[in-house]
Structure 1
Amino acid sequence: MKKTVGVIGGGQLAWMMAQVASQENINLVIQTPSPTDSAVSLASKTIFGSIDDAKITAELAEFCDVITFENEFVNLEELQTLADKGVTFYPRLSSLSPLLDKYEQRCFLQQQGLPTPHFKAYESSSDFDNFSFPLVLKTRRHGYDGQGTIIIKSPSELTSILPKFDNIPLLIEEFVPFDRELAVIGVRNPLGEIKIYPVVTTYQKNQVCRWVIAPTMLTTSQQETINSIVQTLLISLDYVGVLGIELFLTKKGDILVNETAPRTHNSGHYTLDACVTSQFAMQLQAVTGKKLGSVDLKSSGAVMVNLLGFENADSDYEEKREEIMRLGTFVHWYGKNESRLGRKLGHVTMLLDEDTPEKNQEKGKLIAQQIESIWYS
């Protein structure tokens, strides 16, 4: 019997879920504010309204067997009134609760015995006494794609920046001089079945992900540590769905948890073309209680490059996309009709065929640079 899944949010993550929904025998209904949002053209039905409006979500629930999330900008307290009336949310609201505030998320990670950078909630200037420069400031809520994350290099810089965050709760964090930034996607269904995708290297610029290469190079011990982190989080949260986890690999070879995202994640976009089961199909499988598919790579590796807005314009950049496609890539264009600086407009994936992760990393970097030279020229 065909199930109907509701998604709160209608951007590119819901759009990519909608692309695979029919393969999973699922109707997708979305809640989103704008008729120009990416997923509207593919959804079985759209309920228009703010994503944090529980009254709109109540309308959404009338059509759905289960509701999931494209982003974290929701009002858990109001959604709980719907859950109390029998509406099923996956991930559960209790699973989301410790994760939405970055300080509370860090405290939760610490309580589970997971390794994280040193951190503290900002309440007064004395809270900086146990941190050296550079340090990291993060807004505790609603930060994404580098928004709300600032690296502070000096006391004078801190003094000039703090007034800009007046009355905004902040997290103070030590700056980690990492060897690499990593990410991993974990999945769990209601029966407790867990799957873990290959760990990837992520390249960030100004705290925004530019590209991802899968798989990364890890020792057996590091891989076991990451697997343990994923399993601990999924089980302790009683989590259902896809969970993105960002990590630091320190210069000493240690693994630290940076952040988690309770949804499909940018670092997993490569799975659409490079894995037997994409993270988007896996999300739908998990929330509808299906047996989870395979996370195996179809090739020895892959590189994924985000196509970010580099100007304010109305353009579909067809010539650039065609030139990138001629490299032998898969180009995913999100159908956004307005380009803004830094806005995610699409992504590109290319499969790699080298015989070692090290060679794939080298080739992946060259391909990423080639794609960016075309896109940003």
Structure 2
Amino acid sequence: MEQRLTPQEAEIVASTRIGIIGGGQLGLMTSEAARAMGYAAVTVLDPTPHSPASVVARQIVGSLRDPAALHQLAQQADILTYEIEHINTEALRALQEEGQKIHPSPEVLAIIQNKYQQKEFLAQHDIPVAPYMPISSPADIEQAVEKWGYPLVLKARKDAYDGRGNARINQHEEIAAALEKLGDRELYVEQCIDLDKEIGLMIARNERGDTATHPVVEMIHERDICQIVLAPAPISGPLQAEAQDMARQAIDHLHGVGIFGVELFLDKQGKLWLNEIAPRPHNLGHYTIEACYTSQFAQHLRAITNLPLGPTQMRYPAAVMINILGTRNGPADPYWLDEYDSEHTFVHLYGKSETRIDRKMGHITAVGDDLVSVYEQAKEARAALSI
């Protein structure tokens, strides 16, 4: 379903080896796109033997932070990229100094890895972010309360995702528990936005500085995990354009190369705030595999190999993605309880052998003419699957 390559593009692709740090579901779907496009080879580095991506790519078994394993991956790749940001930036810098091409660059990764530093970078470039301040003691939280009142969100600066590393504070009595939850990590605190919707988009940029944005989507979270994505987001055209422009400014300032997931808050007054950036394919872009002319994974590969970026328009008026999250702990045993509309509903299982509560085991994308009916279609398919 992806856009066809021109003969010149196909020649570049056929001579380029891709190395991916991480072999989970994002590595899997990037590898699938690379294989479909005809890249010379794809190798992934992952600590888990028989990782999801190993079905379609070579795998090196090793730590994502191990300089020796990263060097081994680099020897088998012309370009390195990654599916997770919690990796060894210093080792990547050393490889880059040796001449290895890495996208997005270690410099971009270092800014994004530290969420406080990311906020500072965005604020310095006049991109609206929720008010924030550094925290080194309970007294600093009290100062934030005096400034903004409740509620607040205490956040870890590093190694935080899917809500792990966040603690909401609604009243004074919850401060101690929030600090205990996040331990001795480096922290900052953020004012809670009076939220209407959480929205986001995928944006790609190649080495020439060309950018392309996928449609703006609405993300519905439960337990701080993105559960559902509605495409396009049910917001006005001007707001969609403003979100895309804000994302474009941020990625241009970063000089980022690759695809980026940009999450934003829309408050009840209609103002947009940039929440955070992921320097890789993202859950919010999974719907693009079936619903857009160029998937986020193919676009990422185009960007890091400096090809022209593909068209991002949707093939259907509406699409809904639902994450398939584990509902128990134990061996994965996927089976269907009922039939579903396989013509308009697409099921992706990631091949993980163990299921855990809230572990991402796969996703379902439904496409059609309107969000209401497509949403019901996706929910019916999810209800029909046990995993």
What TM-score comes out, normalization by structure 1 length?
Answer: 0.93
Contact 1:305 1:371 in 2 (8 A): no
Question: Residues of 1 paired with 2:52 and 2:339: CA distance?
Answer: 23
- 2:107 pairs with one of 79, 91, 94: 94
Counterparts of 1:208-219 in structure 2, within 5 Å, are: 208-219=225-236
**More off after superposition, 200-209 vs 30-39:** 30-39
The offset of 1:265, in angstroms, is: 0.3
Is 1:151 the equivalent of 2:164?
Answer: no
Is 1:10 the equivalent of 2:27?
Answer: no
The offset of 1:364, in angstroms, is: 4.2
Question: Residues of 2 paired with 1:177 and 1:133: CA distance?
Answer: 11
SS of the counterpart of 1:130? Answer: helix
Contact 1:183 1:202 in 2 (8 A): yes
Contact 2:336 2:384 in 1 (8 A): no
Unpaired runs of 5+ in structure 1? Answer: 355-359
Question: Residues of 2 paired with 1:134 and 1:147: CA distance?
Answer: 18
Aligned amino acid, residue 267 of structure 2: T
The offset of 1:376, in angstroms, is: 7.5
Contact 2:167 2:178 in 1 (8 A): no
The offset of 1:259, in angstroms, is: 1.0
Aligned amino acid, residue 167 of structure 2: I
SS of the counterpart of 1:323? Answer: coil
Contact 2:324 2:362 in 1 (8 A): yes
The offset of 1:368, in angstroms, is: 4.5
- 1:29 pairs with one of 43, 55, 65: 43
- 2:202 pairs with one of 165, 177, 185: 185
Aligned amino acid, residue 144 of structure 2: N
> Closer, same or farther in 2 for the Cα pair 1:124/1:364, shift >3 Å?
farther
Question: Residues of 1 paired with 2:375 and 2:151: CA distance?
Answer: 27
- 2:373 pairs with one of 357, 363, 369: 363
Contact 2:319 2:367 in 1 (8 A): yes
Contact 1:24 1:284 in 2 (8 A): no
Post-superposition CA distance 1:292-344 (Å, at most 9, x none): 11101011110000000010121332224x63455841000000011001100
Is 1:340 the equivalent of 2:356?
Answer: yes
- 1:349 pairs with one of 359, 365, 376: 365
Counterparts of 1:129-144 in structure 2, within 5 Å, are: 129-131=143-145, 132-144=149-161
- 2:214 pairs with one of 189, 197, 214: 197
Question: Residues of 2 paired with 1:214 and 1:284: CA distance?
Answer: 22
Contact 2:165 2:182 in 1 (8 A): no
Question: Residues of 1 paired with 2:331 and 2:89: CA distance?
Answer: 36
Corresponding position of 1:268: 285
The offset of 1:229, in angstroms, is: 1.1
- 2:223 pairs with one of 206, 209, 233: 206
SS of the counterpart of 2:239? Answer: helix
**More off after superposition, 25-34 vs 204-213:** 25-34
Aligned amino acid, residue 366 of structure 1: E
Post-superposition CA distance 1:124-151 (Å, at most 9, x none): 1222222322211221111112211222
Contact 2:202 2:262 in 1 (8 A): yes
The offset of 1:230, in angstroms, is: 1.5
> Closer, same or farther in 2 for the Cα pair 1:233/1:151, shift >3 Å?
same
Post-superposition CA distance 1:79-131 (Å, at most 9, x none): 21111110110011112221111111111110110111111121112222223
Contact 1:215 1:301 in 2 (8 A): yes
Contact 1:325 1:331 in 2 (8 A): no
Question: Residues of 2 paired with 1:376 and 1:109: CA distance?
Answer: 42
Corresponding position of 1:311: 328
- 2:87 pairs with one of 74, 83, 87: 74
Corresponding position of 1:40: 54
Contact 1:274 1:298 in 2 (8 A): yes
Aligned amino acid, residue 373 of structure 2: K
- 1:293 pairs with one of 304, 310, 314: 310
Paired-residue identity, %: 34
Contact 1:6 1:67 in 2 (8 A): yes
What TM-score comes out, normalization by structure 2 length?
Answer: 0.91
Question: Residues of 1 paired with 2:385 and 2:274: CA distance?
Answer: 32
Corresponding position of 1:166: 183
Question: Residues of 2 paired with 1:155 and 1:376: CA distance?
Answer: 42
Aligned amino acid, residue 155 of structure 2: K
The offset of 1:258, in angstroms, is: 0.8
Question: Residues of 2 paired with 1:69 and 1:332: CA distance?
Answer: 21
Corresponding position of 2:5: none
Aligned amino acid, residue 340 of structure 1: R
Question: Residues of 2 paired with 1:187 and 1:127: CA distance?
Answer: 38
**More off after superposition, 126-135 vs 270-279:** 126-135
Aligned amino acid, residue 341 of structure 1: I
> Closer, same or farther in 2 for the Cα pair 1:157/1:211, shift >3 Å?
same
Question: Residues of 2 paired with 1:89 and 1:292: CA distance?
Answer: 18
Unpaired runs of 5+ in structure 2? Answer: 1-10
The offset of 1:196, in angstroms, is: 0.2
Is 1:223 the equivalent of 2:237?
Answer: no
> Closer, same or farther in 2 for the Cα pair 1:148/1:91, shift >3 Å?
same
SS of the counterpart of 1:226? Answer: helix
